[in-house]
Every structure is written in C-alpha cells, then in structure tokens.
Amino acid sequence: MIEWFHPSLFFIFGAFLIPFLKDKVLKTYLIVITVLALIDVLLMSEGIYWKYSFIGNEIIFGNVDKLSLAFAYVFTIMACIGVIYALHVNDRGQHIAAFLYVGSSLGVIFAGDYFTLFVFWEIMAFASAYLVFAKRERVAIEAGFRYLLFHIFGGVCLLGGIILHYIGTGSLLFGLIEKDGSLAFYLILIGFIVNAAVPPLHAWLTDAYPEGTITGSVFMSAYTTKTAVYVLVRAFPGTEALVWLGTIMTLYGVMYATLQSDFRRLLAYHIVSQVGYMVTGVGLGTELALNGSVSHAFTHILYKGLLFMGAGSVIYMTGNRRLDQLGGIYKTMPITMILYMIAGFSISAFPLFSGFVSKSMIVAAASHDHRAIVALLLIMASSGTFLSTTLKLPYFMFFGKDSGIRTQEPPLNMLIGMGIAAFLCIAIGIFPGPLYAVLPHPVHFEPYTGDHVTGSLGILMFTALGFFMLIKRLEPHPTISIDTDWFYRKGSNIFMWVANNPIAAYEGYIGEIYNVWFTYLTLKFSDFLWRVFDSRIIDGAVNGVARIYLIITSFVWRIFDVRIIDGLVNDIADFWMDFGGVARFSQTGMVRNYAFFMLLGGGILISYYLFR
Amino acid sequence: MIKRFIDFVDSIKNMNELRRPFYIILVLVVLSDFFVHREHAAFFWDHIPGWSALYGFISCIVIILVSKFIGHEWLLKEEDYYD
C-alpha cells in the first residue's frame, strides 16, 4: 500500500499522454485523470511525505496538513469542473497546459521547502502563459508575453529572497517567516504578492485574463492568485502591511471594474477585489481571519470559475466580449444566465450563497480586531461587487437594450461544468458545515445570525436601489482604462528610445572595445598557446617518446620490426596533432562557443558533485 | 420551466412594473433590521437599525460617482490607445 501519492503526478505525467490520444479516448482520459487526483486528495491524511536529501538540504514534496488539504480539495474539484467545461476543445496543447498548470499549483500547495515551491511556482507561470498564447491572436500573444515577463520578475524576487533567507537562516524549509524586516522577508513577500495581484503589481492579471482562451481563463481565474493566498497564509500571517494592501485591493478592483466594458476584464478586476479580502484576512492573522481567508479562497475558486465559465459561454456562442454590444440574450441563453446569476449572488455574499459564509468571516475578523476603517471599507467593496458583477454585467449582457443577437445555449459539457459549480455554490451557502470542517483552525463562527442576514440584505438591496437610480451613468462605452500596466506598455516606448539611442551608441562603443581587446587578445593568446603547445610540448613529447623508443629500439632492433615501432610513434604523433587541432577549434573567438564550452564544463562538474 | 421563465421576463414591458415589489422588499429589509438580536455589534453604528441599508446606498453612490469621475478625468482612453 502506498502511503502517499503526490496528486501533481497525475496531472504532470498525465499531460505527456495527451498528445497521443484523441476524441472520445482523450475526453475519457482527461476526466479519469482528474477524478483519480480528486480521490487521491480526498483519501489523504496529514503528515510529511516524500522527504529527500538533495545537495545537503531536505526537500519535501508532501507537506500535508489542514491548510494544504483545504486548498488541495478545492483545486482538484475545480480541475474536474474545468476539464468538463473544456472537453469540447480540440486543441490538445491547451489540455496539456491546463494539466501542467493544475499539477504545478498542487505541487506548490504540498511543497514543504522553498526549492520545491520555487520550481513548481515557475512551471505554473509558464504553463498558464500558454493558456493566453493558445488564443493565437496578436493581442493575446502580446498580453501573454507581458504576463510572462511580470511573473518572471516576481519569480526572480522570490528566488533572491529564498537565497538570502537560506544564507540568513541556513534552512530551506517553507513555513512561518520571522518578521524581521530583512531584505529576504521583503523579497519573498514581493514574490508572493505579485502572484496575489496586489496593486500596483496586479496589472498582469487584468491585462492577460481577458485575453486568454475561453477555457484557459477559467483555469487561470482559479489557481495563480489562490496559490499566492496559500503561501501568504502559511508564511506571512499577521503582517500589518497586508491588512492595508488587501483593503485597498478590494476597493481598487471594484472601482476599476465599474469602468470596464470588456466583461471578462470586469470579472478580472473583481478577482483583484476578492483576493483583497483574503489578503486582508492574512494580514489580520487571527484564527478567525485566517479561516476566513482560506474559506473565501475555497468559495471564490468555485464562484469565480463559474463567472468566467458563464462569461466564456457567452463569448463562445456570440463571439462578442463587449458589454456595449450585447443585450437581450436571456431569450436564447436562459440556463447560462441562471447559472451565471448563482455565481453573481455567491460573489456578492448574498445569504444562502457561498460567498456569504466565507466573506462575512473576514469582515467579522476585522470587527473583532476593532479595525473600524478596514471593516467599513470591506463592506463598501462588497457593495461594489454586487453592483458590477451581479447587477451591471448581467443587466447589460442578458437584459437591457436588445442587441438583436440570437444564439443558443453552449454545448452540454460546458453547461454540466457550470452546473456542478453552481450546485456547490448553493450547497456551501446553505450547509457551510463541511467547508468549516476542513479549515485550518477550529471554527466558532455562525454565519446565519439575524443581524448578519439583515445587515447583508440591507447593504445589497440598497446597492440595487443606487444602481437603478444611476443606471444611465453605468452604460458601458467602448473605451479602455489605463492601469499600472501603462508604465510598461507606454513606458516601453521610453525604454525603446533609450535602447535605440544612448544604449545603441554605447553598445557600439563597447562592442568595438570588445572586438579590439577581447576577441583579438583571446585569438592571439590561443594562437600563442597553440604554438607553444604544438612546438614545444607536443613536438617535445613526440620527439621525447620517439627518442626513447629509438633508444630502446636501437637496443632491441633485432627483436622488433623497426617499421612497427615507427608506425606506433607516428600514430601517437597523429593523435596529438588531431587533439591540438580540436583544441584550436574551440578557440574561435566567438562568445557563443566559449559559452557552450563553459556550460558543458559546468554541467560536467555539477553532475560530478551531484552523483558522486 | 425555462420557457415560462422567458415568458415571464418578456411579460415585464418596462422597469416601472418592478418598482412596487422592489420598494416593498426595501421596506421589509429595513423593518426586519429593527427586530434582530445584535450580539456581535463591535462598533456603535452596528446598533443603529437600518444602518447597513444607509451605508450600502451611500457605498454604491460613492463607488459609481468616484470611479466614473476618476475614469473620465484620467483613466479612460480610446480603444486604440496602446496600438
């Protein structure tokens, strides 16, 4: 009996078989693999598994406790939903990328040390970037590159932090970080909050998610930000800065969302807003707050996945992603609309829907901590959530002015995927018990008290009143809003100017110096070496050997045939001549050849030390 | 069932027909807030019945007006801005 089996292996190794399968076999295979992973996670028990020693450090693949299990449950559930929703997709590259993406996020969740965490962290970035590239449109590919570059920036910060942390503490174990204000602390924090999309480091999300493929964005909405929440919960609970960053996030996302007409971008800004609640919970750091963050991540993955699935279905059927061009499609897509509305009520924390039982925990934690401003701002943001996702978006998409678009419901597999997510949203909302049971700390929180319910209804219903009063101001227009991505999208023009003018001139100058000195000297030096080697050492060696042989043969010439000896001597000389020629070829004066030999040598050295 | 739902939505000719039930719901929400037991109140405003309704309304108006103001003054650009 295997003690523990890493669920990532289903996805990561499972991905390698996808290219060889097609049609029904592929569909069955995708479902079987995700269900196996789900069962694997459900049967898991807490403990430390798969611990190895690697170049003098412990690496742990299986750090299983209540916190990692809570995330693993929802990650594998969402994988099943996402795979069902994406079954109709014929592009196998997307299935492979989704599998690698889910598998590597599970790898992060169970990583017990920074090394494992970092490796999976980077696989996540690259696998998810493919889900944007796979749309194969110029806009998407550009957004995908910006997405990737931003994550590489975050990854480099994280790696730097990990190295400094290792130098400082001598340990690579991943756990609570001492709040010593060191550079390592801040670099790791920045690496994590890049993935959590904390402003001003959030623009990769709202830039790339609306450009991803229909099914790809569903996966992306679930995993990257929530693995970041997970690592923050584990390493940074009680970090005061996160309280304020998180609170600002909730309102920042909501404010920008009201300006959007691309409805997946609107939803993406609400990811920023919702993850803000979780980040605030991490910053508060109390048991109630951390439970709130984890449970909100859990419910968020399901309802945000459902929102993206609903929006994706509309794009899939109408080919349109703009609110100002849609309207009146409830007639032909009523089921999609109802399923979308369930997610809308869940994200708005309507009583009896899933967001209510998780978001109220974080707000309550802020109140218990006597943080009046934080609590008030979080409630204000929840009003904005209801306003954009549940009132404005469906109003202008499904109702409103009839756009004349007539379509039909999406394929059955998409409806089933959405149906499962909708069922879970309602089930968790009505029976929060099972969700509370998997949270990392014991739960002493009752969501359905009279004042919670009337309080929420008061906020939400009077938000609706405000919406209908100001509905004219909310009409979507074909505009885009600039965000912090401006700095690297418009700022890149400045960068390009600098690159084309001063740097190009400088580069020419440096290149000249390089040519004159480095290449010239290296060539001269290698030429010199070659001559010395050739004339002194090789000739000397050959002559020496030949002389010894001659001396010996002069004594034993009667025994050995002189011609054989000569032949042997000539062979040795030929070998050294050939070797010298090869050595000369390596001294070409071309940087890439030097780099190749350095890498080759480095690789040999490293593998020697690793495997000796 | 779905057809009936579509017919029901179709039967609503304009938003005015929904006003009366909507206002009734609003009144009920505020009234119910007077009768709940408040054991978790952390701040003084939590004791005021109808506070959440007022705050929700203010929040909604503030979010719409502030974001639209910032948007029109500063953030909103033509769609080909980055091209």
CA distance A143 to A480: 15
The dihedral through the CA atoms of A462, A464, A467, A468 has a sign that is negative
Query: Is A267 within 8 Å of A286 (Cβ atoms)?
Result: no
Residues of A (307-336) whose Cβ lies below 8 Å from B: 330-331, 334-335
A364 is written with which tokens? 């309550």
Burial A372-390 (b: 16+ CB within 10 A, else e): eebbbbbbbbbbbbbbbbb
Taking only the tens place, the pLDDT of each residue in B57-78 is 999 999 999 999 999 998 888 8
CB pair distance less than 8 Å for A330 and B33? no
Cis peptide before B21 (omega within 30 of 0): no
CB pair distance less than 8 Å for A387 and B60? yes
CB pair distance less than 8 Å for A387 and B63? yes
Closest CA of chain B from A482, distance in Å: 5
CA distances from residue A274 to A18, A267, A367 in whole angstroms, order as listed? 34, 10, 18
Nearest to A227 by CA among A102, A350, A336, A346: A102
CA distance A146 to A164: 27
Q: Which residues of chain A have pLDDT under 70?
A: 1, 518, 533-539, 542, 553, 555-569, 579-593, 608-612
Predicted pLDDT at A609? 63
Residues of B in contact with A370 (CB under 8 A): 42
Predicted pLDDT at A584? 67
Residues 6+ apart with CB under 8 A from A489: A146, B82
Closest CA of chain A from B35, distance in Å: 9
Tell me, yes or no, if A269 comes closer than 8 A to chain B by beta carbon.
no
Residues of A (473-502) whose Cβ lies below 8 Å from B: 473-474, 477-483, 489-490
- CB-nearest partner of A258 from B43, B63, B78: B63
Predicted pLDDT at A22? 83
CB pair distance less than 8 Å for B62 and A452? no
CB pair distance less than 8 Å for B41 and A451? yes
Smallest CA–CA distance from B56 into chain A, residue: A459
The dihedral through the CA atoms of A515, A519, A524, A527 has a sign that is negative
CA distance B25 to B37: 21
Closest CA of chain A from B48, distance in Å: 11
Closest CA of chain A from B27, distance in Å: 10
The identity of residue A228, as a single letter, is: A
Q: At what angle do helices A263-284 and A354-368 cross, to 10 degrees?
A: 40
- CB-nearest partner of A461 from B6, B25, B46: B25
A68 is written with which tokens? 């990692």
CB pair distance less than 8 Å for B60 and A399? no
Tell me, yes or no, if B24 comes closer than 8 A to chain A by beta carbon.
no
Taking only the tens place, the pLDDT of each residue in A380-401 is 999 999 999 999 999 999 988 8
- Is residue B17's pLDDT more than 90? no
- Is residue B14's pLDDT more than 70? no
Q: How many residue pairs from chains A and B have C-beta atoms closer than 8 A?
A: 162
Mutation site for B-interface testing, chosen from A251, A255, A286, A392 by largest number of B Cβ within 10 Å: A255
- Cα dihedral B55, B60, B63, B69, rounded to 10, equals -120
DSSP class of A327: -
Smallest CA–CA distance from A254 into chain B, residue: B63
The identity of residue A368, as a single letter, is: H
Predicted pLDDT at A69? 96
Tell me, yes or no, if B56 comes closer than 8 A to chain A by beta carbon.
yes
Predicted pLDDT at A538? 67
Closest CA of chain B from A477, distance in Å: 10
ipTM: 0.94
Query: Is A172 within 8 Å of A115 (Cβ atoms)?
Result: yes
- CB-nearest partner of B29 from A368, A461, A474: A461
Percent helix, strand, coil in chain A (nearest 5)? 75, 5, 20
- CB-nearest partner of B37 from A251, A450, A463: A450
Cβ atoms within 10 Å of A316's Cβ, excluding its own:
17
CA distance A396 to A475: 8
Closest CA of chain A from B46, distance in Å: 9
Tell me, yes or no, if B42 comes closer than 8 A to chain A by beta carbon.
yes
Angle at A342 (CA atoms; ends A340, A345), nearest 5 degrees: 110
Tell me, yes or no, if B1 comes closer than 8 A to chain A by beta carbon.
no
